[in-house]
Amino acid sequence: MLFDLPDHDVLYRALLERDPAYDGHVYVGVTSTGVFCRLTCPARKPNIENTRFFDSVAGCFEAGFRPCLRCRPLDPIGQREPVVSALLRALEDEPERVWSEDDLVGMGYDPSTVRRTFKRQLGLTFLDMARLRRAGRGLDELGAGQRVIDAQQAAGYASGSGFRDAVVRLLGDSPVHLRGRELLKAAWIPTPIGDMLAVADHHALHLLEFFDRTGLSAELKKLREATRSAITFGRTPVIDQIEAELAAYFAGTCQAFTTRRVLHGSAFTKAIWDELVAIAPGTTCSYAELAAQAGRHTAVRAAARANGANQLAIVIPCHRVIGADGSLTGYGGGLWRKDWLLRHERKVRAGLKA
């Protein structure tokens, strides 16, 4: 085994609760059926005496279990559902299209299913995303110095008020105030533990967060204020680079990030972030140790606040800081993700040492 598994009762409770923290790290073999599953499998749960737990797919096969056809434990975790992938491709093919529920019906989809699926995987509905995408095309025109009416038409809005409302909802500013201003670009990046939102200009990464992080909208507002800029959906070479580096990180082939980044914080906060980056993958430290390493032994609470203010999840690894007693503590992306990331890094570290 690459690391010691929790005891059987803990893992069985995680199976009953479908705890995603163990997805990709622990599998359950069901002796009464001969199959092995993810702990998040939606199938009816077996009795505890009929369960065996393994830390690898290989262990399941060696014990004689076959993969479940329902949760498909051999498939990569975190894949988008087909309807999401298909509609995102359609959106990129026709970004100016004014989408409606009738369009979805015409493509053979149930609008309510699409709405729930997008909300669950990306945090907003497909139709909302389509409206924001259209608004983003108009913002590109505004950033290039075009007249508001030209930007409105480029975005496919027949109504000036509708375009203004869309821009204000997206960026918190009116179109006339955005003419000629450099715009930050935002794009979704899929990962095995949920989609992340990356925000960057053409030179550096400004924000990287899980879409369901509490307070993400407030972080975006702070970023707009700090950069005196606006944000629109799109891609930059920086976003392409961080997406590739994240893919390598989750694949376990590389744990270092070289994407250039901009840090928005005080001198002490930046010092804490520098110390976070220095924590080796697969290891952890406490808040007290973090403060001491930054030269402020008594500033434990300030170090914790700086840790929580991190806007570059995973790249600046605030998930590697734990309580003095070894317990997991708060994480904006959710404690289950923190647990998942630490387990992933320990497995990669063990593999590199082997």
Phi, psi of 232 (to 5 degrees): -135, 155
> Is 318 noted as a catalytic residue in this protein?
yes
Q: What are the angstrom distances between the C-alpha of 244 and each of 190, 251, 289?
A: 11, 11, 32
Among 9, 120, 291, 226, smallest CA distance to 218 is for: 226
* Alpha carbon 171 to its chain's center: 21
Considering only the C-alpha atoms of the chain, give the largest distance between any 2 of them, rounded to a whole number of Å.
70
Exactly one of 37, 41, 71, 318 is catalytic; name it.
318
In this structure, the strands spanning 205-210 and 196-200 are antiparallel
Sequence-distant (6+) residues with CB within 8 A of 240 are none
Catalytic residue set: 318
